Amino acid sequence: MNRARLYFLVLLLVLVIVPVGVCAAKEERPPPGFYPDLGLEIVFDDNIRRSEDNEVEDWYTRVRPKFDWIWGFGRHELDVSVELDSWHYAKESNENAFDRYLLTELDLDISHLIDVNLAAGYSRSHTLRGHDPSVATIDPNLWETKGASGEVIYGRRSNQMQLSLLLDHQEIEFLNNDLEGRDHDQDTIQATIFYNWGSKTQLLAKVSRVEFDYARKYLPIAPGGAELDSSEMGYHVGINWEASYKTSGEFSIGKTKKDMDDPRLKSYSGLTTALKLKWKPKSYSTVDLLLERSSQETKQESTSHVIKNQFTVDWDHELTRRLTMQSGVTLENDKWSQIREDDLFDLYLGMEYSLYRWMDVGMRYTFQNRDSNIPGLDYDSNIIMFTVQAFRNKPGRPKRTMGP
């Protein structure tokens, strides 16, 4: 049995055991105010390069301050979010990084039927080795993104139907490792219709189109260089639900068709799915499940795209009022348009203790593995992490994601 069929069978099993007649809860916006959040991690990693033969171990410190300012203007709301992310290694200083993110979101309650959501953001970040679907590089890949989006929503959750129209633009620029040929603009238009099927179930139908416009030809991929420009059409149907006994989630299934402008490059047409499930069998125990099949851009030479299949389960269980056990596992299969295929496995187990109402401390062990059909790309890594999380005053609202 191939992996695509295995993921599909797991998906069907989950849908069978999940109770029917459920839907996503209405999002509750946080009140205006200042929301700080500070994270500190001290980490030992026995293979920071994610290498099969050249394993290097090191300690690093990661500091992540994040701030949200929310202002209310009558029925309207403005949210400015700033996040800094500093990585400092004890020995391998070339792995050091300083990431930063800025996002501004404006929610306009125009009338009793119309909402407008506007967003603009900037990010400058890097990708950890092994988390980046590309070959080994001298340094971690660095990238910069600028973007803006606008969404118009007609209808309220209390109405029988809602209509959403989303426009999104991103400019992605790579800053090192000779990846300039992968710089591109990404434009998305998406229309979604929601239909209320009962008080706790919402059906949806979604059509989306994404245009990828690359700055230049990419020489390594074909003789004389290749045009990586492409267009991607998606057609999906789905359901949002919330059960009375603490089960909620969202599921969509459909077809994605990716057409490459250069006929020498392989296009894609096939099944894409997404399932997010939250299950709380007890008030002190939460299980989160993610099952996804999607098409993504890639920086791997000689390829035009990658098909990602991911299955993730996370479990948080309160042992006492202050002590929580955390565990999770991820199975992932990445299949490139040409030759390469990777299997990834990620397992973690940790404990978190609420030292004060505003501070948590914890410890976590993580094992990561990649098995590739390309020689030299296999690796194992063992990670031990000590964490401090202060304030945790997160607004808890969806945030626009930016980056490759």
pLDDT 10s digits, 62-78: 999 999 999 998 889 99
Output the pTM of the full model. 0.83
Burial 142-172 (b: 16+ CB within 10 A, else e): bbbbbbebebbbebeeeeeebebebebebbb
Are 333 and 342 in contact by the 8 Å Cβ rule? The answer is yes
As a whole number of angstroms, the distance between CA 241 and CA 249 comes to: 6
Q: Residues 172, 146: contact at Cβ < 8 Å? A: no
Average pLDDT, the chain: 85
Q: What are phi and psi of 50, to 5 degrees?
A: 50, 55
- Contact in structure between 128 and 141 (CB atoms under 8 Å): no
CA distances to 251, 281, 291 from 16, in Å? 13, 17, 14
- According to DSSP, the residues that pair with 283 across neighbouring strands are none
What's the average model confidence in pLDDT over 120-142?
A: 75
CATH 3.40.50.2000 fits 3-390, yes or no: no
In DSSP terms, 91 is beta-bridged to none
Nearest CA among 90, 88, 98 for reference residue 59: 90
41-66 residue pLDDT tens? 999 999 998 888 888 999 999 999 99
Confidence of residue 26 (pLDDT cuts 50, 70, 90): very low
Length of the chain: 404
- How many beta carbons lie within 10 A of that of residue 12, not counting itself? 10
3-state secondary structure of 176: coil
Looking at the chain, the whole-number percentage of residues with pLDDT higher than 90 is: 59
Place 23 in a pLDDT band, splitting at 50, 70 and 90: very low
* Alpha carbon distance 148, 293 (integer Å): 26
